[in-house]
Structure 1
Amino acid sequence: MPNRVHGLREPDRALGIVRICACIAALALGGCATAPPQVCSPLEWRPSPNHDQRSAQMIVLHQTEMESAEAALVTLQTRNPTGRVSAHYLIGDDGRLYQLVAESERAWHAGASRWGGVADLNSASIGIELDNDGVEPFSQAQIDTLLRLLDDITGRLDIPRHLVIGHGDIAPTRKRDPSALFPWKRLAEAGYGLWPRAVTAPVPSGFDPWAAMRLIGYDLRDPAAALRAFHRHYRGNEDEQWLPGDAEILYDLQQQLMEMPVMEMPATVP
């Protein structure tokens, strides 16, 4: 059963009223202990000791696969039997926002994972847990809060908006979250994540879909698991075989990445 939760960094008091209003909102809910939150949105600051220092370059989405947000909070704030885990944020099914680890700190949410050659995803990412049991649809209130949070984090930390990915994308042999029910297309319509355009160009002769998957970021050491993760994210299923339309999607995603400005990523591993 997955265990996670996420957090915010220490606010810079010199930043003024934007940071102050977030702290006031958290105080009204009984938060602001240890490290007041930075997001101008109602949330509860639930500090977790399960973290250390890191720098974020991307955002990883999870689902709790537990019965409630409160149950997830217990796991993410304690030394649970299967090992200590945490995340920066948790969003309840009702849209309530919690912060457990400061954004400047390294939460323990990604585990053994890899994306685009980056292996230490805990150091390279912000982790956001979604209160979801793995079989139910994600609520409107929850996604609305997520979009507001993504807007805030990507703006403040200068994280490329297309680098919003799922736990199952970075750990395809171990994880399947968020589920195939997660509305990646809706996120893309709001400007987050990578999604195929409505009209795709013809796939050229000799196009290599595996090379495109590697360019997007997938770890291909287990091809079947990687393809299953790709299908979960972009096709709403978990098929381990190539499907009609996959090449068109991958070619378009590849073209989108090729059209983007070159960006510096965290150090890669051999």
Structure 2
Amino acid sequence: MPPSSLQIDPATNRLLGARWLASPNYDARPAGNAIDLLVVHAISLPPDQFGGPWIDALFTNTLDPAAHPYFETIKALTVSAHCCIFRDGSITQYVAFDQRAWHAGASQWQGRTRANDFSIGIELEGCDTQPFEAAQYQSLVGVTKALLATYPTLQPGGIAGHSDIAPGRKTDPGPLFDWPHFRRLLTAA
């Protein structure tokens, strides 16, 4: 399915056409928390390297700490994101959008804490030192359009980076994520 025509199944709150790999790292959103924030993240495992099964393994609690020295330092994490957009633009969804994924950690947005309660987290396979791929921007625009169409409480002004909701603690999606380019693509879509 082309990124521009992505849709969310209202029965499952899952992205049609995305690969589904269920993460155990989620729970119900607290009552009264409308989805009004989209958080863009970046992840690479090991750091600054792409490819391999490591992101899936992290989000499904199956990461082998012996596979890389860095993995020993994160083996106890229980984290997830709603989706990850890989370098080729392919999308894997781990948590249904109506559920609370564990992506933001200690966070604050517009005076509210606990951003996981009211946000959707989208990971991009990337890092602070390398630019993102055109296919990733296209897929992110497609997912964002589908989310905006499905959740009326989410507006274009409610899109932020992990660094915006956890300043000083997080840097992603990093200095090479082109926010103006992404917003132009989103507006044109």
TM-score, normalisation: structure 1: 0.56
Structural RMSD (CA): 2.1
**Structure 2: distance between partners of 1:84 and 1:171:** 18
Runs of 4+ that moved beyond 6 A: none
Partner of 1:92: 86
Structure 1 SS opposite 2:77: coil
Amino acid at match of 2:117: S
**Count of aligned positions:** 161
Alignment of 1:212-227 (within 5 A): none
Task: State the shift of 1:120 in Å.
Answer: 1.3
Query: Are 1:162 and 2:157 counterparts?
Result: yes
Amino acid at match of 2:88: D
* Alignment equivalent of 2:15, drawn from 27, 30, 38: 38
Structure 1 residues 183 and 142: CA distance shift in structure 2, 3 A: same
Partner of 1:153: 147
Partner of 1:50: 25
Greater RCO structure (CA 8 Å; 6+ sep): 2
* Alignment equivalent of 1:130, drawn from 124, 127, 132: 124
* Alignment equivalent of 1:173, drawn from 168, 173, 180: 168
Q: Is the 8 A contact 2:13 2:98 kept in 1?
A: no
**Structure 2: distance between partners of 1:191 and 1:139:** 16
Partner of 1:223: none
Partner of 2:57: 74
Task: State the shift of 1:154 in Å.
Answer: 1.0
Structure 1 residues 81 and 74: CA distance shift in structure 2, 3 A: same
Task: State the shift of 1:139 in Å.
Answer: 0.1
**Greater CA radius of gyration, 1 or 2?**
1
Unaligned stretches of 5+ residues in structure 2: 1-6, 63-73
**Structure 2: distance between partners of 1:128 and 1:81:** 21
**Structure 2: distance between partners of 1:97 and 1:123:** 23
Amino acid at match of 1:46: L
**Structure 1: distance between partners of 2:139 and 2:116:** 23
Q: Is the 8 A contact 1:10 1:103 kept in 2?
A: no
